[in-house]
Structure 1
Amino acid sequence: MIKNDKAQLKLVQFENKDIRGLVELSASVGWDYDEQEVGTVMASGKIFGHKNADGEILSSAAIIKYDGNLASIGMVIVNNDFRGLGLGKEVTQKCLDYVSSDLSVMLIATEEGKPLYEKMGFKTVDSVHKFLCDTYDVTKSIVNINYTVESCTESDFNEILKIDEAAFGNKRSHFLHQRIKQSKQCLTVKDSQGNIIGYGLSVLGSVNLILGPIAAPNPQIAALILDRLAYGHQGKLRIDVPSGHKEFMLFLENKGFVKAANPPVMLINSANLPPRNNTLFAIAAQVFG
């Protein structure tokens, strides 16, 4: 590719027909988005990016607006041959321009992308801990007779939504509905009175079984949910844990997870993330904040 071809590039909003090309762009930089994941991102928000005259996708960025005063940017990718031309900044700005200027917008940055976001006005407010596991240790499966773990049903959605809103700090009904549709498992934990006190999802990607979101009242219940989501999976697993959950992260390490990265959570148009109740033990994925 010749870099001076930038004048021929067109910044567009992608459609369902572009999903395959977005997967190919992701693979070209070593990321593992598959068609289901890109489809959920597209169904939950908007994806913008550059195409050349031949229709080849050369960049992308997604923005997901939640029900309240918060949105999340992710999936910021630029074709290696077109880096250094400002495409990443241009497509990220397109996402910001799509929403109101007084809306808080978060993103989870790569180390490579962090300087760009800082120049655009994003500030680091937190971090997440990315854990990977080649083989989950099932030698000591967790049993807790005080709680029951069940597959979620449609009638559970409103309770799950309430738990998620308090944990994440923002209501995200449309996204959560889409993510549950995509999930391999959606589990709830109920107390002895039958009240839902926590939930968790797993999503089977092209490389990893992605564990999250997981929301629970304490590390022990979070561990119980993770154990049920991971149990019996033959293959690699991934979980991204918000900061402040040392006991839960120790549990992960004891189960064979290894910390692979500690990317920053960045924010623009606000100094702080929305208030959370410290019950979010795993995020859905970095693109969703």
Structure 2
Amino acid sequence: MSINDKPIVELVQLKERDVSGLIALSSSIKWDYNENEIKTILSSGKIFGHKNVEGKVVSSAAVIPYDSSLASIGMVIVDQRFRGMGLGNEVIKKCIGEVSTDTTIMLIATEEGIPIYKKLGFQSVDSIYKFICTDYTALPKPVNDNEFIIDEFSDEHLTEIITLDEAAFGGNRSRFLMNRIRQSEKCFVAKDKQGNILGYGLSILGPVNLVLGPIVAPNSEIALLLVQQLSAKYQGNLRIDVISGHEQFMRILEKSGFVKQNQPPIMVNSVTMPVRNQTLFAVAAQIFG
């Protein structure tokens, strides 16, 4: 059924019952969202999308509002057969409308999405570097083991992790972090001799890669120690998305077998990014900013 030869679609909020449809949509463009990832998105924010008359999900976009005046948009996908209808523009606008007008919205753009985001008032302010590793080689530890301790996460660490992450990310995202830690394969904290937490790192097991991030650390040496712990004994592919400005960290990743795949821009709907203290080495995932 169509009007003027255009398929009839309806923009709706997507729920947990739509997880399988979202997985199929992401697979159609070779993105590797799985059930656990989508449930974390749903528990941290909202997903909107279009459905056709048969109830099939043919577009999507998610908005993740954080506890401060900051939000992230991602998972922007339109089924190949439904492109050219303005569905991407419509679903992104729906996400933008879910937060207040004084909220800074950030996103990591695909090359195809950049023109749409520019028309909606977004501009590039930074970039990230996507790295994939198919054969990881752990290099000699960059710092003395006696200086720092890498410890497994426990609930008593949560308050300090949230505080560290807020300064690193530029906004408080406590609800998301709690959801992400529950989803994680591993979570480690880095401590000094006095037991003070200096940084943390997570790994998320996906259908294709073990994703390393977020990683927050005071320097590249401790960030690399976290990478080594998160990667230990894992035999499959690794992925890490590194924030620009950490060239030394990236050089050592490359020596360990990581290969840069692309460099997508970070875009925001305001003049500048939120203030960050340069301790965010790797993002959680591109959807989360």
TM-score range, shorter chain: over 0.9
1:234 corresponds to which residue? 235
| Structure 1 contact 3–82 (Cα < 8 Å) conserved | no
**Residue type of the alignment partner of 1:160:** I
Name the SS of the counterpart of 1:221 in structure 2. Answer: helix
How many residues matched?
288
1:66 corresponds to which residue? 66
Cα distance between partner residues in 1 of 2:153 and 2:92: 36
- State how 1:82-97 maps to structure 2 within 5 Å: 82-97=82-97
1:141 deviation in Å?
5.2
**Residue type of the alignment partner of 2:252:** F
Instruction: Return the TM-score normalized by structure 1.
Output: 0.97
Cα distance between partner residues in 1 of 2:33 and 2:253: 24
1:140 deviation in Å?
3.5
1:5 deviation in Å?
6.0
Cα distance between partner residues in 2 of 1:68 and 1:279: 19
For structure 1, list consecutive stretches of 5 or more residues without a partner in the other structure. none
Instruction: Provide the aligned C-alpha RMSD in A.
Output: 1.5
Name the SS of the counterpart of 2:159 in structure 1. Answer: helix
1:80 corresponds to which residue? 80
1:283 corresponds to which residue? 283
For structure 2, list consecutive stretches of 5 or more residues without a partner in the other structure. none
**Residue type of the alignment partner of 2:42:** M
**Residue type of the alignment partner of 1:81:** R
Cα distance between partner residues in 1 of 2:17 and 2:80: 23
1:7 deviation in Å?
5.5
2:203 corresponds to which residue? 202
1:271 deviation in Å?
0.7
| Structure 2 contact 2–8 (Cα < 8 Å) conserved | no
Name the SS of the counterpart of 2:97 in structure 1. Answer: helix
1:215 corresponds to which residue? 216
2:244 corresponds to which residue? 243
Name the SS of the counterpart of 1:110 in structure 2. Answer: coil
Distance 1:117 1:196, change over 3 A: same
Moved beyond 3 Å, runs of 4+: 1-7, 139-143
Q: Which moved more, 1:56-65 or 1:118-127?
A: 118-127
Distance 1:41 1:201, change over 3 A: same
1:53 deviation in Å?
1.0
1:32 corresponds to which residue? 32
Cα distance between partner residues in 1 of 2:79 and 2:4: 14
| Structure 2 contact 74–107 (Cα < 8 Å) conserved | yes
Name the SS of the counterpart of 1:98 in structure 2. Answer: coil
| Structure 1 contact 127–264 (Cα < 8 Å) conserved | yes
1:193 corresponds to which residue? 194
Distance 1:114 1:3, change over 3 A: farther
| 2:273 corresponds to 1:273 | yes
1:144 deviation in Å?
2.1
1:261 corresponds to which residue? 262
1:108 corresponds to which residue? 108
| Structure 1 contact 3–81 (Cα < 8 Å) conserved | no
Deviations 1:233-252 (A, max 9, x none): 10001000111000000010
Cα distance between partner residues in 1 of 2:82 and 2:90: 13
Cα distance between partner residues in 2 of 1:14 and 1:6: 22
2:125 corresponds to which residue? 125
Cα distance between partner residues in 2 of 1:187 and 1:5: 54
| 2:175 corresponds to 1:174 | yes
| Structure 2 contact 129–264 (Cα < 8 Å) conserved | yes
Deviations 1:68-96 (A, max 9, x none): 01000000000010111111000000000
| Structure 2 contact 7–52 (Cα < 8 Å) conserved | no
Instruction: Return the TM-score normalized by structure 2.
Output: 0.97
Q: Which moved more, 1:95-104 or 1:253-262?
A: 95-104
Distance 1:3 1:211, change over 3 A: farther
| Structure 1 contact 186–202 (Cα < 8 Å) conserved | yes
2:156 corresponds to which residue? 155
Name the SS of the counterpart of 1:192 in structure 2. Answer: coil
